[in-house]
Structure 1
Amino acid sequence: LDVLDRNSGAVLKHYSANDGRSGLHSNFIFSFYEMKNKELIVVTTSGLYRYNEQADNFEILKFFPETYHYTNMKEDSDGNLWAGSYRDGLLFYNPKTKKKEVFTYDYKNPNGISNNTINAIFEDSFKNLWIATENGLNLVNRQNHTFTKFTTKNGMPSNVFYSILEDDSKNLWLTTSKGLVKFGPDHKTIKIFTTANGLLSDQFNYNSAFKDANGDMYFGNLNGMISFNPKHFSKNKYTPFIYITNLQINNKDIEVNSPDSPISQSISFVDELELNNNQSTFNLEFASLNYTAPELTEYWFQLENVNNDWVYLGRNNKVFFTELAPGDYVFKVKSLNSFGVWSKEIKLKITILPPFYASTYAYILYFILCCAGFYYIIRYSQNLTQIKNNRKIKHLNDEKEKEIYQAKIDFFTNVAHEIRTPLTLIKGPLEKLLGMKYESEEVPQHLSIMKKNTSRLLKLVNELLDFRKSEIGGLKLTFVEANISSMVRNFHLRFSQLIEERGLEFDLELGEKDIHAFVDKEAFKKILSNLINNAIKYSNKKVSISLFRDEKKLHLIVKNDGNIIPIHLKNKIFEPFFRVDDSSTASGTGIGLSLAHSLAQLHNGSLELIEDANYNIFELVVPLHQEEEFMLYADAEKEQTENETPKEAVEIKNEKAQVLVVEDNEDLLSFITTELAGTYTILKAENGEEALKIIHNENIQLVISDVTMPVMDGITMCKKIKTNLETSHIPVILLTAKNSLKSQIDGLEVGADAYVAKPFSMDYLKVQANNLIENRRQIMNYYASSPLSHIKSIAHNKTDEKFLKKLDDEILKNITDQDLSVESLAEIMNMSRSTLYRKIKDITNLSPNELINIVRLKRAAELLLNENYKMYEIAEMVGYKSQTSFGRNFQKHFNMSPTDYINANR
């Protein structure tokens, strides 16, 4: 910093940051500022300094950080200090309250300052504080210290502002990177001066603005300095003329008298313009005859019937119209020069002719097109058959390709299926041999090893088949209500021996109340088995299982403290045959978790590995309810005591039921027959066709059949049984080596009552057979003994339900007929007497006459609850000759009198 002599310009004093006595910390002096108390402030790149005249040195202003690069300073009319920085925003200091603030740009704050680079701070005569930045002009709100921004959106030529001055008329003069701006006191009026107005350059300099006592203003720019006094400006009051100078149609200039030209003279002298429909895209160019700064002239236009208001074009002197609709328009244009003088309006009438489609020729063409359309329809109808045939051929080809593809992917599955039949013949006799006593201890040990490896082989086959099933996808599970808590407890007991052998700490948290959910039991057991088995297999000391539920879902958490699975393998472990390196020595196929994951998704749930530093945590989430749910009811409690059991039921129970076993493997057929012979009367068949003949000639109570057989397979046989009215009531158990859910669903869809996978336990097959026979008998007894049970409750398939509904409807239609008998009912049902008798007996365990009587009594039970009828009226309405006979029959069948029944249901 140098102090100069005013007259000679000689250096009187030199201050430098290199001289410690000066107090300066920077030699980069950006600007000076004189405060109201005449103190001199020096603005540097390393702080603000006050000159101490007595000590002849500079003192740092401590209330502004020394580390900032400052550009300017301002003391406002309230005595507040404002400092602008190069990149750190705007700083504020109130000497009275000692309050400090820093205002920096934040894109989230619309009321903040627009930029962190402050070029100028200025207070006008209205005490408005203005901040010029590199990105907008800011007006400070003194009360809440918010900022109002002025940018190119407000009409400014640039967002870079350098300096601010105010003239005697209260106008602000702003220097920018694209010209000089006169900004009116209303903060709306903007007038821009550029090189067209005499400026040396549109680019101005930093800190280059000064106003002297006479009102003369001085601004420095890149090419020198300009000076003017706004009071001496003279206003140009000349009203310029405006002309249309050019016409372009479809982006091509139109020359006068050219072949396609719609004008015969210059467009500047045309008052009316007629255009064809294909000329509806055009543009007009116009110019205002203003020779002073013509590039600053602004234009407005209006097109009547399209624009009701004037459209501002800015400095653009060209307007485009695209595909104007046919009609009449008036185009108007006017201009405003740089001195604020409006030109006179000019008008041009424009007519767009209608398109060809609205002409007479067009209607003739429409007629021709209609005729052609009728002709096309006739031709189309002739070709329609050919098109349909082509589609059928394509469909058949597609189906054939699908069959070939399915045959390829089923090859591996079928090989595994073949293993299951010999496993059945091994497992069955092994279980029987293990139940015997032997003199040597080695024999049971060897047999146990055989059974263990048989079970191991069966498990591997099952896993492979289940995995194949999940790969095929598109399978539909059967969702029934299950006690999930009980299933988890059972699996805990199942693995209890393995837990004891490994000495594991096992925590089981199931809550106080059991949790029920609709799941596919077999599929859900596979999920639990894989999760719990993996947790035990790979744990070190501790395993825990937690089960809880919320309003819609159940959550099963399985933890173990084994080697932590890396989180980047979170999804990889659910891929088939994937094994974590650390567990490569453990047994298993590597498809357990993949199968569990697929089955969880089929339950509309999820199975995930949860990130944890100390435990491997698997979380299973399954909805409590599914869209398609099936209700399985427990056996109804017997309404009658043993002494009250009907005589017919006792006789049937003591008789051996006839069971038909259908199996093409002679060894397996002989094995099953031998095991069941002690309980049932056994009939045998080697294929489905032979079995159907036996079923039509014998009174069969149960069919046990293999699926894969020659001549006629089990699926086809089951479908024929269930769709035949005479045999649809017979329960069917299917035996198969195919253990996939798809195979089970195929069997169940054709009406099979149970599905047993090979190799099977003979005890399990016996229980299944006994349950099917006994459950049907109990359902029959419940129907006969319950007043309000409906006849369709004893139907086991759609064929039986359809038959029973029709039978019930016909009985009810003729219920008042006291002579309704088997013969008349058979005639109504269009069946022979013997066929109807046998069908009713097999389904309901009742004779037709007994069934007619029970339907009468059940209808009476409904009417008894209606107080509008007397007892004798009800007896007549249901076909009884007397009230006494009705009451005696009601008491016999339902173990209560009609009066007791009414009292019990009120």
Structure 2
Amino acid sequence: MKLFVPVLALLFVFLAGKANAQWDTLALRFRTLTIEDGLSQGMVTSIVQDKYGFMWFGTKDGLNRYDGYHFTVYRHDPADSTTVRDNYIYSLLVDRQGRLWVGTGIGLDLFDPMSEKFTHFSVERSEVERGFIQNIVEDHHGDLWLGCSTGLAKLTFSAPDSTVGPPGYTVKRFFSSGTGINIDSDGLLWGSEQWASSFTIKPDHEGFDQVDTLDLSGLQTTNDGLILYGVRSISNVVDDTLRDRHYVIEASRILERGGPDHQLKTLFQFSKGKGGINGNRATLDGEGRIWFGFYQGLFRFDPVHRKIQKLVARDPDLRLSALSAGLVFRDRSGLLWIGTRGYGVLIYDPKMERFHTVPGPGVHSLSPGNNGKVVVAANEVFVSVYDPAMREYSLSVPLGKFEELPVMHVISQWNMGTVQDRTGTFWLNYGGLVSYTVGDQAPVSHRAFDGLTEDVTKSSTVPIFLDGDSLIWFGSEGAFGRYDRRSSTYTWFPWPITSGITEGQFTNAIIRNRDGIFWIGTQRGLCGYDPRKATWWHFAHDTKDTSSLAVDMIYSLALDQKDENQIWAGTNGGGLARIDLRTGKVKRFNTKDGLPNDVVYGILNDFAGRLWLSTNIGICRFDPATNSFRNFDATYGLQSNEFNRYAYCALPDGALFFGGVKGFNYFNPKDIVDDSTASPIRITNIKLVNKVLDHREADSPLKAPAYLSQGMTIPMSDNMVTFEFASMEFSAPVEHRYQYKLDGFDKDWIMSGHERTAIYTNLDPGKYTFHVRGDNRDGIWDTQGTSFQLEVLPPWWRTWWFYSLCALALGGAVVLYLRRQRHHKQFLEKTVQERTSQLSTAKERAEQSERVKQQFLANMSHEIRTPMNAIVGMSNALRRDAPTDPSTRERYVDAIASSSENLLGIVNEILDLSKIEAGRLEMERVRFSPRTILTDVIAVMQYRAKEKGLELSFRVEDDVPEAVIGDPTRLQQVLMNLVGNAIKFTEKGSVEVCVEIAATVHVEDSRATGDMIGLRCIVTDSGIGIAPDRLARVFDEFMQAESDHTRRYGGSGLGLTICQRLVDMQGGTISVESEVGKGSVFTVNIPYALAAPQEQVLPTEAKPAKKQMSGLHILLVEDNKLNVMVAQVELRNAIPDVKIDVAENGQIALDKLQANTYDLILMDVQMPVMDGYEATRAIRALPSIKALTPILAMTANVLEHEVQQCMEAGMDGFVPKPFKQEELVEAIRRVLGLH
């Protein structure tokens, strides 16, 4: 012990010249609890948190328990000895067993949470010596040490772990005057006696407590010249277990004890005569900093860097509260509670410091400066630079310094962007480019106009993009601009669109990818510009395309870190957009997906591949990998919820900056880590029929407070139950969300949001379990939650004995009833089985039909997209490459033509089947040559066969007649389909077509009269063949031999169906024989009437069509510009000296017809203002000869009833789109009677 005394009698190191401490002032955001919130009184003397999570506050007028929303106040009742002994609460302690000890003005109490009663303990020698208990500590043995106004008392319990009744105890007294006591994590007690020396005590449970006096009032000097002070009045000890340090708080100093020699040294000393530290309630925060109250206010001391800060409230209304701070307590979640002397409780959440706030005026722009600093453009400031390392502005030039200069007299004095180049020069937007170097007498104008003669649309230079040491890129209303600092010259690149801006900024964001392509966010969408190729791109909102931008106004842009072919865009009202630059497709994200607000001012990438967005409701973190959002609002310490466009930037070290209407925030994303600690939930109140249950009442079903009760039983007459609950995390109580579920009643969890009550009515008798859980401040849910057992008793008529009587009375009736129902049940079961079988069969057929139709739709999509891809691709190639080589150009055009024909064929195939099924397809009966038909089919298919290396041959027997009567078009369609299929499904070998006379003819067509022959067409291939199980269904709709054939060979699955229907309609038959791997043989038999020999007629000399129709004056009525161009090209190529007028709709056509005379009107059907039907009827109603002008319908409406509608409207003819030149000429000749 003799050796230990000198160690404890340590000398406090104090540097000469540091006697008068200085500090910085830091404004923090506090939340308050006052008497208006339910606190019993404003002078808070002590704060603790119990094992259930509730906060307890001692005041001059009662003890308070707080659940985050409501206070429960305990006061002394002279008529009830189980209430707290005195209303003046000096100290509180939660011991290792979780018991709450209360030090009052006249003694010690122990609180029983089950009964909510207080047990009183006497510690004074006599009633006369009774005094207040200013602090309570528990040593490692479980004994209590009380610092009293009458000395120091030790309570040793005979059964320290007893939880039943008040424990027996003995009292040992030390000293006779006011004493304060504290304990460190090593179990050593530190204290001071009023007007006497300080001391330490090494406690012993058996009573051999070792007391060492520390009376070191004399001064000593160490070998290194430092002045040593003795401890005068120890008021608190704060432990830093992570650093193995103890901080001893004395009235005017903070001392550190640690290291292998356990020496004390002075870390900080206040100036002499400046009052004292209220160290009795000091605490350590999560960063190892000491918080304490001083007579001048609330302070925070960093013992590592020996830096002290005076903490003031950011809210001016709370400044006085912070100045009166008396004690600080840290709860289990890290929240700091500051008790004040008369102003209630201040609450501070250290997590709010994750977002560093620099308050100030509205910030217009932020950009990286030199040496890790940030350039800030704000209201009333010409230029400023913030140093995040020093957390202060290193430069601030007020706007008033230059605003009267001529250089500032421009169209706009609103600076929306400032950047700093590597030389330190600032470039600003003040109605154009303005530069400024620190030390200059005035800014230098580099504007592209003088305000009078030049285009004012070039007056804006926002935003500014620095490109090396020479170039500056920027956006203006009229063009994308580039300024060369070396030559002081501007180059303008006109936008690919018209800005249409009369005020405000046209451009909002400029970024550049690795390929040197600029992407510019504008008020009219996204523009891309490649300076090397002078090429523009543009993506905009399309009301008909949900995969386009939601809105055109783009505020911010960011490159996707994984794929530079994708760009992220923040929009004004359209949320966040991911734009695929290859396809132009846009993936939209908005508030429905979790975004806090659909106005996205800024977008920044972090090193983890996430996006950070600034909005009108705070900052949002978006993870593209999971498409998940995490939102942060002003309650997390942001400058406000509202941010500004242009006001965002990132530094090379990963720090992100966002500016808003009240300053700016900066942070490192790696520091924004969600707290995974679950927030415990407590049931705080239970109501029956809207009356709060009090467990202290005799008839209450609750036998303990709601948060300690396991359950209760209630009668059915009182089965309206309300549960109230609260989270024991207090950083932002109103932000917590809750879920609850009543087992036996609710099937799923009920999401109640921020609502803290659950109400159940009309519960049936039975046993239920109520579960409730909540999330913490960072949205992490407590999966365990809390539960409560509830039993609802049944009324007498729902008891077991009543049910037994009812069962006996009804037993006989039930037996008789069951016998009568047996036979009826058997009948019903049989009927149900039959109906079930029928329904099952119908369901299976319906499902099969649905699968087939779905496959058809997929096939059609593929088949249509394939030629469309070729058309679009070759068109783009022609437009982009403009090949000069005739063969290349011809190859491109041939590909477009071939694909167009394929696409038209698919559409016609679908229409044919539709006509067949509707019974509207009629067979022609004209003279034709079977040999000619087959020759034409082979000529068309020969190219496809050669492409696959197949041998395509045909044979027509000699006895096949030269001419027959029938429908040549449908025979050609059948053969084209069969030969096409044979080539498609044959990889190698040959395809052969044979036409012969059938041996027998089965005629089913009533129209067949006279001499008939049976024409047999046989198509043989060496292809893949057809499996036997699919052979019978090969002519069904949407069917192919195998599903993978659709993916491999394509096709709609309609070809053979159409062939069968066409053959059937002509009274013929079609059959197939096939073997897998060897090929297939399709045989078609169709009856035809023999054609009579045709007389030979000498040909007459006919005038060429072009000559007969030369000089026509045609009115072309068409609203589609591309269709107009096609029609004009074909007409001018087919008709010499033709004159063509164009009308965009029927009304314009009517006006032009009344003003001119036309030989022919080519009329589209579907047009705006006045369609083709209405226009035709109007023309026919004219009172002049012009009403007889020939009208030829030229439309894509090709169904029979649509053609009939054209005729009924008064049109003279019809040509379908798309058309070939010869079809158009033939139709014109028919209408004009030129045959």
TM-score by length of 1: 0.37
Q: Which is helix-richer, 1 or 2?
A: 1
Q: Which is strand-richer, 1 or 2?
A: 2
Between structure 1 and structure 2, the one with the greater Rg is 1
TM-score by length of 2: 0.27
